[in-house]
Structure 1
């Protein structure tokens, strides 16, 4: 026997969708929209949070002028761009052929292989810090140990540095170390993206190409790559956005300070330091919006580059 609810507890079907969406909208407004708008408001003010909201005063565009004239801000942008290119571009150059190989070579154990490649993406940042700090250790790191063995090779040995590399303290070595960590952590994510796209390509295309005498490489360049174009655009866009917002990896390896000569200080790390080390939340907010404009501009250029001529 069904119990009838009182009239005041009954929800009209007209308002039911809004009631079901209300929890999400409330969380979005409180933790998403409000911080975004407050950051924009704050970028036009000078504010030291320890003095309270009463200490906030209007400065107009001064924070943006300060950011555009700040030498360290431009250096952090150059570092961010270097790391985004050095870690982002190889991800796709490796992920596309690797996903193709897994798609063709593995059938029964495909999910196990994909899980192994995807594991770094969901690995804890603390675990990553411990792992790569040990790998890049000057005296006991496995990377320096491997380089010491490679120096015995006749041709390769002459191209390697003579002694142990101080990866985390040498400014010239810190950037490659961070790029290696970023590549290791996100290449598996791109492999999963491209493998999902490969599974949507009709097998009839490959069968027809085989009957016409096309080999594996011809099928890859004339069928696989054109079919992956939308997913490549999606993956490259994510790499651009993630690369320009790079924070966790350099923050972990440099202890949050940017490393020697600030060689590992990305724009996101510099924003963090301005806000929480120097207590200049207004300048940090202005820099964050400038970074947003750069990300939006590069995303638009990526869309233009991948847009078909007939669109």
Structure 2
């Protein structure tokens, strides 16, 4: 008598596996690669205009190249471009100008923006929205247009600023307080090396203070009114509520805004370029390192030295940002 288990195992046949055809492989590959095809335009554009220029700038900084003469004129010089850049007194003068104007325009931005944002939040939602929009308009206005308007306003003979100061100096009611201004008229705001840094810094301050007001207004709006009410019940004044409640809780927003200011102000280009264009007397104190970089690249056609200067600027901005992160990063990100 045969074993029933043997008969059952003999009758059960294994399932035949379906052989994957080439068409099935293509369909499977297509279904998996479809998302990458959708993002491929961004990857290609980012690679061409984002990644490639970085590596090309590194390569170019070790060469001497006049772009007018073509790629065949590129010549290897090693670290010579960096040595020339670091020993160039004009570069250090332009770097000092950049640093001074970054301080003159950056510190007032936040010193004005934070109290102004606190005032706007205190006024209520309707007034806050309208006034915040008004303060933000200079930021979204073309930098070239803003700089050209201020260039006309700074004119020594026909500028609006000198006309207003002259009116105050010669007015019947204001002469006693502003009469001394006549001793300095006409004031050459952009022609005098003593004044040009302050003139450029004011334009930068006027344009970007609204951006910081928006950041701080958004931050202050996240603070609960219960904290202000509790402090008010305890007898805290408006200044004390601002000092001991608003500022400590605003540290993440202050940290973010100041970081943007450091990076942006160390890369100033448009405002100094437009305001000092054609003014030879302003070349000493009115030229930032970005303006000098542009001059080396497109006026002197020395792309290798310009690439080296750009990396020097990158290291300087990265160092300043890193120092700021090291000093205030933990407290700024904690927000307490």
Q: Residue in 1 aligned with 2:104?
A: 86
For the Cα contact (< 8 Å) 1:121–1:188, is it kept in 2?
yes
**TM-score normalised per structure 2:** 0.85
1:246 aligns with 2:280: no
8 Å contact from structure 2 (residues 189, 195) kept in 1: yes
Question: CA distance change for structure 1 residues 68 and 161 in 2, over 3 Å: closer, same or farther?
Answer: farther
Q: CA separation of 1:161/1:88 partners in 2, compared to 1, >3 Å: closer, same or farther?
A: farther
1:165 to partner: Cα distance: 0.6
CA contact (8 A) 1:257 1:265 kept: no
Once residues 206 and 258 of structure 1 are traced to their aligned partners in structure 2, the CA distance between those partners, rounded to angstroms, is 54
Who is 1:54 aligned against?
A: 72
The answer to whether the aligner puts 1:24 opposite 2:42 as a matched pair is yes
Aligned-partner SS, 1:98? helix
Deviations 1:30-84 (A, max 9, x none): 1111111111111111111111111111111110000000010000001000110
Q: CA deviation at 1:114?
A: 1.3
Deviation of 1:186 (Å): 0.4
- Hey, what does 1:124 align to over in structure 2? 142
Q: Of 72, 75, 83, which aligns to 2:93?
A: 75
Residues 79 and 263 in structure 1, CA contact (< 8 A), matched pair in contact too: yes
Superposition pairs of residues 108-257 of structure 1, within 5 angstroms:
108-151=126-169, 152-155=174-177, 157-158=179-180, 162-255=184-277
Moved more, 226-235 or 256-265: 256-265
Tell me: CA distance 1:197–1:17, structure 2 relative to 1, closer, same or farther (3 Å): farther
How many residues matched? 306
| d(CA) in 2 for partners of 1:118, 1:258 | 33
Q: Shift in Å at residue 125 of structure 1?
A: 3.0
- The answer as to whether partners of 1:251 and 1:258 remain within 8 angstroms in 2 is no
Query: Larger % of helix: which?
Result: 2
Structure 1: give runs of 5+ residues left out of the alignment. 1-5
- Deviation per residue, 1:109-158 (Å, 9 max, x gap): 32221111111111123421331122111112111122223434535544
CA contact (8 A) 2:190 2:275 kept: yes
Q: Whose radius of gyration is greater, 1 or 2?
A: 2
Aligned-partner Cα distance in 2 for 1:252–1:52: 30
- TM-superposition CA deviations, 1:18-38 (whole Å, max 9, x none): 233222211111111111111
1:250–1:256 CA contact under 8 A, matched in 2: no
Q: Contact between 1:150 and 1:156, CA under 8 Å: does it hold in 2?
A: yes
The yes-or-no answer on 1:42 pairing with 2:64 is: no
Check 1:252–1:266 CA distance in 2 against 1; reply closer, same or farther (3 A cut).
same
2:294 to 272, 287, 300: 272
- Cα distance in 2 for partners of 1:227, 1:143 equals 40
Q: Which moved more, 1:152-161 or 1:126-135?
A: 152-161
Q: 1:306 aligns with which of 314, 328, 333?
A: 328
Inter-partner Cα distance in structure 2 for 1:13 and 1:61:
50
Output the TM-score relative to the length of structure 1. 0.91
Which one is further off, 7-16 or 45-54? 7-16
Q: Which runs of 4+ in 1 moved over 6 A?
A: 6-11
